[in-house]
Amino acid sequence: MKIVRTFGFTILLCACGFAGSAIGQDHQHMQGMDMGSMGSMSMAADGNAVKVGDLEISGGFAKAMLPGQPVGGGFFTVKNNGSTDDRLVLVTSPNAGAVQLHEMAMKDNVMKMRELKDGITVAAGQTVELSPGNLHLMFQKVKKPFKEGDKIPVTLTFEKAGKVDLMLSVLSAQGK
């Protein structure tokens, strides 16, 4: 994983997945990561929104992976138009051996990422955004590295709304 330090955030996801399988769910990402630079990575919306029950899912995208990179990041926005809370509990994709739900957060000035085993809650009337540097999907055991322009199908399972298929457009490794 030497290249991790040379290229910043893009390979970070790679570092995460690597460390994640090796040492568990609360793994260290990168020393002293600058939140400011991460904030500037805005999300590129795709426009193909899908609905299931009271939920509306939009802006799905994934980042291109570098050759040999074992894991990839995926992102989208979920809006809950209903009056009951729901929860994203499972994500699967034919392009990956497993898909985990992760969050990233600053802790003691260090960016850390951990798997959310209980899923991601989308409260009634709220919108939850999975975006670089925050909540994200982590594709594990990816069969073929995601290339810019690819489409990655995923199936999301929500506790109440049930299953819905979503297509993630692969953007550049920078997520733009």
Q: Which residue's CB is nearer to Cu ion, number 59 or number 132? A: 132
Does 12 sit near Cu ion (CB under 5 A)?
Answer: no
> Comparing C-alpha atoms, which of 92, 83, 154, 87 is closest to residue 125?
83
Does 30 sit near Cu ion (CB under 5 A)?
Answer: no
Does 16 sit near Cu ion (CB under 5 A)?
Answer: yes
Number of residues that bind Cu ion (CB under 5 A): 4
What is the chain's length? 176
Contact 40, 133 (CB under 8 A): no
Q: How far is the CB of 13 from Cu ion (least distance, A)?
A: 6
Q: How far is the CB of 58 from Cu ion (least distance, A)?
A: 21
Q: Which residue's CB is nearer to Cu ion, number 18 or number 49? A: 18
Please report the DSSP string for the chain in residue order.
-THHHHSHHHHHHHHHHHHHHHH-SSEEEEET--HHHHHT---------EEETTEEEEEEEEE---TT---EEEEEEEEE-SSS-EEEEEEE-TTEEEEEEEEEEEETTEEEEEE-TT-EEE-TT-EEE--TTSSEEEEEEESS---TT-EEEEEEEETTTEEEEEEEEEE-TT--
Q: Which residue's CB is nearer to Cu ion, number 138 or number 156? A: 138
Q: Write the interaction track for Cu ion spanning residues 93-132; mark x where CB under 5 A is met and - where it is not.
A: ---------x----------x-------------------
Q: How far is the CB of 95 from Cu ion (least distance, A)?
A: 17
Among 11, 12, 138, 142, binds Cu ion (CB under 5 A): 138
Q: How far is the CB of 90 from Cu ion (least distance, A)?
A: 16
Does 79 sit near Cu ion (CB under 5 A)?
Answer: no
Which residues in this chain contact Cu ion in the complex, by CB under 5 A?
Answer: 16, 102, 113, 138
